[in-house]
A = this chain, B = another copy of it.
Amino acid sequence: MEFGKIVMERYATKKFDGKTVPHAKMDELFELIRFSASSFGMQPWKIKVVTDQKLKDTLMAASWGQPQIGTCSHLLVFCADTNLDALISKMQGQLSKTDMPAESLEGYVNMMRDFVKAMDGAKKLAWAQRQVYLALGNAINGAKSLGLDSCPMEGFNPVEYSRILKLPENIVPTALCPVGYAADKPRAKMRFAKDEIFF
């Protein structure tokens, strides 16, 4: 499917038909998300995958009762990971096994460490959350490319999600992406005119 067709046909599905997406197809979607771009390639995200119906229903109650949550096949909870120091160490470990010269690696790691050091907790979270939206974009476009439907969502209680999913403090629920097969129809897209956006 051409990217232009994906962009135009994707829409925020409000209700799914409850059918389960096959495991192999979800694995394809996970790969599209996993290879998203991120600043420094730091991938400051974790994604909780919820398929248990009882748990989806519990989370639906913490999401203004929106039916996408209860009717989807897989609920992806996109979380920001604010433990950036741990991510840098992990990157360092992986990159040290590549053909990257030791000096370049050291420079790169130092650059990342300095970047992180300059941010307080709130800034780290805001930065990580912005990156999460790149992965979220790959999820919604990727789902459509695989013949699936999805819905990017912010309307939920992140504190409740943390509690229900027993998330550690550094893993912050940021956006939802229920995935499945639509049981509704798209409405016409409303977008501002080209000259209202580009200047």
Interface of A with B (CB < 8 Å)? 1-4, 6-8, 10, 12, 28, 30-37, 39, 41, 43, 45-49, 90-91, 94-95, 98, 126, 129-134, 136-138, 140-142, 145, 152, 154, 188-192, 194, 196-199
Contacts and interface: CB of A to CB of B under 8 A. Distances in A.
The interface residues of chain A, by DSSP majority, are classed as helix
B36 A190 contact: no
Nearest to A165: B199
Contact of A190 (B46, B95, B140): B95
B137 A197 contact: no
B32 A7 contact: yes
Nearest to A35: B7
B199 A47 contact: yes
Nearest to A12: B37
A28 B54 CA distance: 44
B194 A34 contact: yes
A3 B130 contact: no
7 contacts: A3-B6, A7-B138, A43-B192, A46-B199, A47-B199, A98-B190, A126-B126
Contacts of A130: 129-130, 132-133
Nearest to A154: B39
Given A126-B126, A133-B130, A198-B49, A188 B98 contact: yes
Nearest to A42: B192
Contacts of A95: 190
Nearest to A43: B192
A90 B155 CA distance: 22
